[in-house]
């Protein structure tokens, strides 16, 4: 018989109470982990941004386009090894009130876009087919699965920014290079958009929504940014050139209040875990005051008593943490299926898994500190007089 | 019999109740020779248990000295005192105070976890102690599965397991029926006579006190 055996038996001395406590902690840990995962999904664009890509957009706002004629000037900037461009299309597919019918639809330069985004893996024959056919499109694997789209299918939708009925033929399905790559997007030819708008709305120009630059390294970004923004300062469309990470961050910042609220709630949950555990441990220690006095009489020191109490709380906390962690996965799967339009990339990261276990373990230790200190300090004769 | 294994000189002890100091022991001096079986008697509140607690090193005197097995226990720190108790004191309580989640074997093994013994050595000690109290057939029983007399015998085995210098017993028969009490007293008597264990026993029961070699009376904190 070792100390650990005593700790484990004490942890389940009141089986129902321990099980309820573990269930309470598991629920709180699950909520904490789910919130951290959602916050992580919100920041996925920032986290997954490439370190060698920059975005050039209109200085005033992302919604103002940049002239397509800026392209040649951008290609000549020192440090820039590749340039592409894209335009947000919008559009409405099916029932507009169903969020499952929303996914990003982006007009891109077919010749250069996928060269700058190696994380979107397109089979060469499908890419060639996409580049040959004006109204072709490439969609993500996850989107194809969700909507049942296959190669050769025609996706029909109504335009909102660009009015009219639009038809896109699926000629390629891309897969992500890693699990964090967004596989819910649809890309089609910018030339198709440009030609159709000219036909449908004579006089309306389609420019670039934003430019994407490939640079040699992150160290070159400040110089590239300064060169481009200085060059276009006095143009009709002044630019703001920033790293892809900063560009994505600007979107996340728009939701900063929500994210901050979620973070606050996640910390409140840690407080709840502490209270649930502390309540159980305080009760257990109070009931065993006499027992701890007996152990001291036998020769056990304050350090032993503290180990018993902290260990018991740690065991309950960690078990609650493990159970909570196991519950996070199906919950996140549910969020993934129900809110794929909002969170195209969502998953429990190794960091989140370690974080929730760490929080549960630390809460276990923290909840037992005061009861353990009290039990250690209590004189033996006082403890022996206690009716347990 | 050899020289005193317990030597108490001029010990006083009081407890605080609200803002008042309530004297419990007043200028007590006592010698307990090695191998003695001493009975301490007296009415409730006379200070018997307090005197026993001082001898066992679980309480400290306000003044005077308590020298047990060659150590002035009042001079030891808390952690030193804990180690000292593990080596020198075997404590038997009125209400047995076994740990309910541990079997009889594990309860007896408990104090041995503090000693530098291998698992095999601990097993040998536990079996010897349980053999002495006649409970080798109850090793895997939990306290709730034992009678009061059996629980107290396990408690005595636990007190004996580490082969302490002194056995202190606080009303060891106070919660037992006559038959079980007799069994426990016979066991203590045997431990004293056969194994030369020094025993200090607090009791209310004149029948129990008859088993002691020497009986001292305490009244209002003064040793008669």
Instruction: Write the pLDDT tens digit of every residue in A164-174.
Output: 999 999 999 99
- Check pLDDT > 50 for residue A236: yes
More confident site: A375 or A258: A375
> Does B13 reside within a domain?
no
> Cα(A176)–Cα(A215) distance, rounded to whole angstroms?
22
Confidence band, pLDDT 50/70/90 cuts, at residue A20? very high
**CA nearest B202: which of B194, B212, B191, B190?**
B212
- Check pLDDT > 70 for residue A5: yes
> Does B54 reside within a domain?
no
Question: In the predicted model, what is the mean pLDDT of residues A133-154?
Answer: 95
> Does B122 reside within a domain?
yes
> What pLDDT, on the 0 to 100 scale, is given for residue B3?
67
Tell me the C-alpha to C-alpha distance, in Å, between residue A190 and each of A103, A186, B147: 18, 12, 90
Tell me the per-residue pLDDT of B87-126, one tens digit each, with 9 for 90 and over.
Answer: 999 999 988 899 999 999 999 999 999 999 999 999 999 9
For B211, the domain range is 34-47+76-223
Tell me the C-alpha to C-alpha distance, in Å, between residue A56 and each of A227, A239, A381, B143, B159: 12, 6, 76, 78, 82
CB-CB neighbors (< 8 A) of A379 in chain B:
59
Euclidean distance between the first and the last CA atom of chain B, given in angstroms as a whole number = 23
> Cα(B91)–Cα(B201) distance, rounded to whole angstroms?
10
Query: Mutate which of B82, B104, B170 to disrupt the A interface (most A C-beta within 10 Å)?
Result: B82
Percent of chain A at pLDDT > 90 equals: 76
Tell me the per-residue pLDDT of A192-208, one tens digit each, with 9 for 90 and over.
Answer: 999 999 999 998 889 99
Percent of chain A at pLDDT > 70 equals: 99
Question: In the predicted model, what is the mean pLDDT of residues A160-166?
Answer: 93
The token pair at A182 is 């967004």
What is the CB neighbour count within 10 angstroms for residue B75? 12
Of A189-198, A243-252, B149-158, give the lowest mean pLDDT range: A243-252
The closest CB to that of B53, out of A2, A291, A381, belongs to A381
SS (H, E, C) A136-181: EEEEEHHHHHHHCCCCCCEEEEEECCCCEEEEEEEEEEEEECCCCC
- Check pLDDT > 60 for residue B172: yes
> Cα(B216)–Cα(A171) distance, rounded to whole angstroms?
105
DSSP-based three-state secondary structure for B119: helix
The closest CB to that of A294, out of B87, B89, B97, belongs to B97
> What pLDDT, on the 0 to 100 scale, is given for residue A1?
58
Query: Mutate which of A297, A308, A376, A378 to disrupt the B interface (most B C-beta within 10 Å)?
Result: A297
Our count of domains for chain B comes to 1
**CA nearest A64: which of A203, A249, A210, A193?**
A210
> Does B16 reside within a domain?
no
Cβ(B200)–Cβ(B32) under 8 Å? yes
Confidence band, pLDDT 50/70/90 cuts, at residue A353? very high
Query: What is the Rg, in whole angstroms, of the alpha carbon atoms belonging to chain B?
Result: 17
> Does B195 reside within a domain?
yes
Tell me the per-residue pLDDT of A77-124, one tens digit each, with 9 for 90 and over.
Answer: 999 999 999 999 999 998 877 877 889 999 999 999 999 999 999 999
**CA nearest B197: which of B210, B208, B187?**
B187
Residue of A nearest to B81 (CA): A299
> Does B133 reside within a domain?
yes
> What pLDDT, on the 0 to 100 scale, is given for residue A93?
93
Tell me the per-residue pLDDT of A53-87, one tens digit each, with 9 for 90 and over.
Answer: 999 999 998 889 999 999 999 999 999 999 999 99
Confidence band, pLDDT 50/70/90 cuts, at residue A388? low
More confident site: A297 or A2: A297
Tell whether B100 lies on the interface with A, counting CB pairs under 8 A.
yes
> What pLDDT, on the 0 to 100 scale, is given for residue A252?
76
Question: In the predicted model, what is the mean pLDDT of residues A298-314?
Answer: 95
CATH of the domain at B90: 3.40.50.300
Q: Is the pTM of this model over 0.80?
A: no
Q: Inspect the interface and report whether the beta carbons of A1 and B102 lie closer than 8 Å.
A: yes
Give the gap in angstroms from C-alpha A360 to the nearest C-alpha of chain B: 26
> Does B55 reside within a domain?
no
Cβ(B53)–Cβ(B75) under 8 Å? no
More confident site: B141 or A45: B141
Tell me the per-residue pLDDT of A250-285, one tens digit each, with 9 for 90 and over.
Answer: 777 777 788 888 889 988 998 988 998 999 999 999
More confident site: A45 or A263: A263
CB-CB neighbors (< 8 A) of A380 in chain B:
53, 58-59
Give the gap in angstroms from C-alpha A10 to the nearest C-alpha of chain B: 7
Give the gap in angstroms from C-alpha B72 to the nearest C-alpha of chain A: 17
Tell me the per-residue pLDDT of B27-69, one tens digit each, with 9 for 90 and over.
Answer: 999 999 999 999 999 998 899 999 999 999 999 999 999 999 9
Q: Inspect the interface and report whether the beta carbons of A9 and B83 lie closer than 8 Å.
A: no
> Mean pLDDT, chain A, as a whole number?
92
- Check pLDDT > 50 for residue B1: no
Q: Inspect the interface and report whether the beta carbons of B82 and A300 lie closer than 8 Å.
A: yes
> Does B1 reside within a domain?
no
């Amino acid at each position: 018989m070792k100390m650990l055996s005593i700790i484990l038996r004490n942890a389940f001395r009141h089986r129902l109470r321990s099980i309820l406590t573990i269930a309470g902690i598991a629920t709180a840990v699950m909520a904490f982990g789910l919130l951290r995962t959602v916050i992580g999904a919100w920041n996925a664009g920032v986290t997954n941004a490439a370190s060698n890509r920059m975005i050039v957009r209109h200085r005033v706002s992302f919604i103002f386009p940049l002239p397509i004629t800026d392209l040649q000037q951008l290609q000549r900037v020192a440090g820039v090894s590749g340039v592409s461009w894209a335009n947000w299309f919008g559009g409405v597919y099916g029932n507009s009130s169903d969020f499952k019918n929303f996914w990003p639809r982006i007009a891109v330069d077919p010749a250069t876009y996928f060269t700058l985004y190696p994380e979107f893996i397109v089979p060469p024959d499908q890419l060639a087919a996409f580049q040959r056919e004006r109204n072709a499109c490439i969609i993500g694997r996850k989107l194809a699965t969700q909507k049942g789209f296959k190669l050769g299918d025609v996706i029909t939708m109504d335009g909102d920014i660009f009015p009219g009925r639009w038809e896109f033929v699926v000629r390629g399905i891309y897969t992500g290079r890693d699990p964090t790559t967004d596989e819910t997007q649809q890309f089609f030819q910018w030339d198709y958009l440009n030609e159709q708008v000219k036909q449908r709305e004579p006089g309306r120009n389609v420019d670039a929504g934003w430019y994407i630059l490939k640079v040699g390294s992150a160290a070159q970004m400040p110089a590239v940014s300064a060169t481009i923004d200085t060059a276009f300062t006095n143009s009709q469309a002044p630019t703001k050139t920033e790293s892809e990470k900063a560009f994505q961050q600007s979107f996340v910042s728009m939701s900063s209040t929500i994210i901050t609220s979620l973070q606050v709630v996640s910390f409140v949950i840690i407080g709840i875990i502490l209270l649930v555990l502390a309540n159980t441990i305080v009760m257990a220690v109070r009931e065993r005051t006499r027992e701890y006095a007996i152990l001291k009489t036998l020769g056990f020191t304050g350090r032993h008593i503290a180990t018993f109490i902290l260990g018991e709380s740690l065991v309950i906390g960690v078990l609650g943490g493990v159970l909570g962690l196991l519950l996070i996965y199906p919950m996140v799967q549910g969020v993934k299926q129900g809110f794929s339009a909002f969170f195209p990339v969502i998953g429990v990261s190794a960091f989140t898994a370690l974080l929730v276990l760490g929080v549960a373990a630390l809460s276990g230790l923290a909840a037992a500190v005061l009861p353990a200190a009290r039990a250690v300090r209590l004189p033996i004769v006082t403890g022996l007089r206690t009716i347990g | 019999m050899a020289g005193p294994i317990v030597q108490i000189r001029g010990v006083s002890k009081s407890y605080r109740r609200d803002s008042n100091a309530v004297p419990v022991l007043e200028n007590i001096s006592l010698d307990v020779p090695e191998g003695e079986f001493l009975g301490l008697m007296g009415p409730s509140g006379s200070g018997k248990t307090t005197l026993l607690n001082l001898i066992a090193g679980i309480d400290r005197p306000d003044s005077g000295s308590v020298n047990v097995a060659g150590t002035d226990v009042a001079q030891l720190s808390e952690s030193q005192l804990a180690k000292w108790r593990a080596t020198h004191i075997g404590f038997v309580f009125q209400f047995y105070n076994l740990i309910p989640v541990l079997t009889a074997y594990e309860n007896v093994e408990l104090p041995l976890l503090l000693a530098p013994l291998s698992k095999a050595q601990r097993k040998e000690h536990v079996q010897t102690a349980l053999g002495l109290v006649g409970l080798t057939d109850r090793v895997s029983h939990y306290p709730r599965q034992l009678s009061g007399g059996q629980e107290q015998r396990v408690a005595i085995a636990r007190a004996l397991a580490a082969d302490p210098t002194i056995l202190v017993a606080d009303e060891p028969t106070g919660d037992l029926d006559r038959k079980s009490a007799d069994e426990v007293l016979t066991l203590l008597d045997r431990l004293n006579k056969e194994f030369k264990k020094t025993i200090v026993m607090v009791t209310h029961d004149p029948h129990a006190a008859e088993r002691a070699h020497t009986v001292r009376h305490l009244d209002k904190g003064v040793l008669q």
